């Protein structure tokens, strides 16, 4: 059964776009190979007329060229007969998302504004650190969930990204960092977080298929221990995420009372805190060595009191969760209805959790100067159209 979470009605201050548009077939009629499993590549070759035995061998070779070597041109595939290369090129493509703009922050963070073939913009962010490099990957164009503190949630257009558009973000970052062929040692891009635009568990099948390719040992070769999927709490999909994808889980908790979470994460009206934490307790693969990360955005005078911190500790203990807490200073955007908590407040909040024996680091915002920090992702086109709307309204 395919996970048709696309059409779930979500209560919230703004009605979600009910039916995300399907990704169109390529205008030139060619089949995109990126994002397909080995078997699907083999079947696509067969459907184009290649005989079964050859298709199996070619699929294996193509997989290696695409995911291990990063090659996008069939003419460079030296173990495929010269005469067959144009035959492949006519029928298939190996592409990357279009790059509208690539920016580099003063702190080394990179942001790519990307575009799908049908003209929708989305973003990916690379955050280099001393001992690792993390790519923040988007799962949707926009997001239907309308969390009140999140800029992405205000985008009007929403479409699920296809597997090739999700894997494509990783491949494009590898291109930019010069990290082909895939090698286990000395990489800059070591970790992936599904924390860009969109709710990954509302695009389950595509995210799973994409991450399977990212984790394939003969492909991009990133371990599931270095991949984290962040959800705002799509409870019915969490067990499947653990079973079928098996990556680390991060949960955007952000509040410990129904009243406050209902306000800032409207999905809470559908799946409440108790249900969510129970699903975390049952998450396959979570244990003390692989903890669940609870993300908590620090909103001034909203969710940041000592009492809230103590309640958070109580909940974690009550559900016996192998947990760490990530405190995220709120990143403001124009027109946002909240402010960030003060530094002292964040420190006091963190101390209470820390003193209960739970790790609670405060995340340093990265790439703020290029609007690359958490929750700031919203494409320039959307900002422009918003500005245009405001002008129309003012006129
Ligand atoms: N939709 C998923 C993943 C993308 S959001 C989710 O909500 O978990 C990644 C993280 O950034 C989430 O924890 C989200 O709540 C947080 N975030 C969103 N807007 C933010 C903002 N303005 N400041 C700080 N963090 C924000
Ligand atoms: Fe969507 Fe996550 Fe933003 Fe909420 S925080 S609107 S779920 S991207």
CATH code of the domain containing 40: 1.10.150.530
Same domain, 70 and 113: no
Same domain, 64 and 184: no
Instruction: Give residue ranges with CB within 6 A of ligand 1.
Output: 147, 149-150, 195, 199, 230-232, 252, 295, 297, 328, 330-331, 374-375
Q: Is residue 15 part of a domain?
A: no
Q: How many domains is the chain partitioned into structurally?
A: 2
Is-contact 171 34, C-beta < 8 A? yes
pLDDT tens-place values along the chain, 395 residues long: 344 444 444 444 444 443 444 545 577 889 999 999 999 999 999 999 999 999 999 999 999 999 999 999 999 999 999 999 999 999 999 999 999 999 999 989 999 999 999 889 999 999 999 899 999 999 999 998 999 999 988 887 788 999 999 999 999 999 999 999 988 788 999 999 999 999 999 999 999 999 999 999 988 999 999 999 999 999 999 999 999 999 999 999 999 999 999 999 999 999 999 999 999 999 998 888 899 999 999 999 999 999 999 999 999 999 999 999 999 999 988 889 999 999 999 999 999 999 999 999 999 878 877 777 776 777 766 665 555 555 555 55
Name the residue at shortest CA distance from atom 21 of ligand 1: 375
Collect contacts of 53-56 with beta carbons under 8 A, ≥24 apart: none
Q: Is residue 25 part of a domain?
A: no
Ligand 2 neighbour 141 (Cβ under 6 A): no
Residue whose token pair is 């078997």: 39
Ligand 2 neighbour 195 (Cβ under 6 A): no
* Listed residues 93, 113, 138: the one ending a domain: 93
Ligand 2 neighbour 145 (Cβ under 6 A): yes
Same domain, 174 and 73: no
Residue 254 is assigned to a ligand binding site: yes
The C-alpha atoms of residue 73 and residue 256 are separated, in whole angstroms, by 52
Burial (CB count within 10 angstroms: exposed 0-12, middle 13-18, buried 19+), residue 175: middle
Residue 136 is assigned to a ligand binding site: no
Q: Which regions of 38-147 does DSSP assign to beta strands (E)? A: 92-93, 98-104, 110-115, 121-128, 133-136, 140-141
Name the residue at shortest CA distance from atom 15 of ligand 1: 252
Instruction: Select which of 32, 121, 123, 179 is catalytic.
Output: 123
Same domain, 42 and 176: no
Residue whose token pair is 């257009």: 157
Q: Is residue 78 part of a domain?
A: yes
Q: Is residue 148 part of a domain?
A: yes
The C-alpha atoms of residue 28 and residue 48 are separated, in whole angstroms, by 15
Q: Is residue 256 part of a domain?
A: yes
Is-contact 362 331, C-beta < 8 A? no
Q: Is residue 17 part of a domain?
A: no
| pLDDT score recorded for residue 219 | 85
Question: Is residue 123 annotated as a catalytic residue, yes or no?
Answer: yes
Question: Is residue 311 annotated as a catalytic residue, yes or no?
Answer: no
Same domain, 119 and 157: yes
Domain that holds residue 84: 31-93
């Amino acid at each position: 059964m395919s996970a048709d979470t696309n059409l779930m009605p979500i209560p919230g201050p703004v009605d979600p776009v009910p039916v995300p548009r399907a990704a169109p077939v390529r205008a030139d009629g060619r089949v995109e190979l990126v994002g397909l499993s080995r078997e699907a590549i083999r079947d696509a070759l067969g459907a184009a007329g290649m005989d079964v035995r050859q298709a199996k061998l070619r699929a294996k070779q193509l997989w290696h060229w695409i995911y291990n070597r990063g090659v996008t041109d069939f003419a460079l595939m030296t173990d495929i007969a010269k005469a067959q290369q144009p035959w492949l090129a006519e029928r298939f493509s190996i592409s990357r998302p279009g790059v509208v703009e690539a920016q580099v922050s003063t702190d080394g963070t990179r942001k790519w504004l990307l575009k799908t073939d049908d003209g929708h913009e989305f973003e990916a962010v690379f955050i280099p650190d001393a001992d690792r490099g993390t790519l923040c990957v988007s799962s949707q164009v926009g997001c239907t969930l309308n969390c009140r503190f999140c800029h992405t949630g205000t985008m009007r257009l929403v479409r699920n990204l296809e597997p090739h558009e999700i894997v494509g973000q990783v491949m494009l970052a590898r291109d930019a960092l010069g990290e082909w062929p895939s090698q286990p040692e000395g990489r800059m891009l070591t970790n992936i977080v599904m924390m860009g635009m969109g709710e990954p568990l509302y695009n389950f099948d595509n995210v799973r298929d994409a991450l399977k390719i990212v984790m394939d040992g003969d492909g991009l070769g990133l371990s599931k221990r270095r991949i984290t999927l962040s959800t705002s709490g799509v409870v019915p999909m969490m067990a499947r995420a653990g079973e079928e994808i098996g990556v680390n889980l991060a949960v955007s908790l952000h509040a410990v009372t129904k009243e406050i979470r209902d306000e800032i994460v409207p999905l809470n009206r559908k799946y409440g805190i108790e249900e969510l934490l129970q699903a975390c307790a049952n998450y396959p693969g979570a244990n003390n060595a692989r903890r669940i990360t609870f993300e908590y955005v620090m909103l001034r005078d909203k969710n940041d009191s000592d009492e809230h911190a103590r309640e958070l500790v109580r909940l974690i203990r009550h559900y016996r969760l192998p947990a760490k807490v990530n405190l995220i200073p709120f990143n403001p955007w124009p027109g946002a209805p909240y402010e960030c908590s003060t530094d002292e407040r964040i420190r006091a909040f963190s101390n209470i959790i820390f003193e209960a024996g739970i790790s609670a680091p405060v995340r340093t915002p990265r790439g703020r100067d290029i609007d690359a920090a958490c929750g700031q992702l919203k494409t320039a086109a959307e900002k422009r159209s918003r500005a245009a709307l405001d002008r129309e309204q003012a006129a």
